[in-house]
Structure 1
């Protein structure tokens, strides 16, 4: 369910930013840069929603150690 909602959010963010990018600036170059970043931002929404679901499950199960190790391992890789 989290992944499906993430897909819906991806569509909403993608369409919203594409048509609403003029709110942030009237400069053609700025709007072009926003349009370049839209696919990345929209594509990461399902991944983000799954991360929030797994965080909630881990915190609900009081598995803070796993969450801490997974956060450290992802930060060490970047």
Structure 2
């Protein structure tokens, strides 16, 4: 059995949600902007933390962030 076939067999047994995420990751690897967008997101997060420390925006806890993610914000 070749490697591609083994990977495909493993892919088939994954839950549907995980297969969708994996497929999106594989596709994003082919796009050169993918790494740039990750870096942009990290930089944006660091800017938010800096603004929170300076008191420019309200402080958010990790629980607030998790709640926002669950609500799709």
TM-score range relative to shorter protein: 0.3 to 0.5
When Rg is computed on C-alpha atoms for both structures, the one with the higher figure is 2
Which of structures 1 and 2 has the larger relative contact order (alpha carbons within 8 angstroms, sep 6+)? 1
Higher helix share: 1
Q: TM-score, normalised by structure 2?
A: 0.36
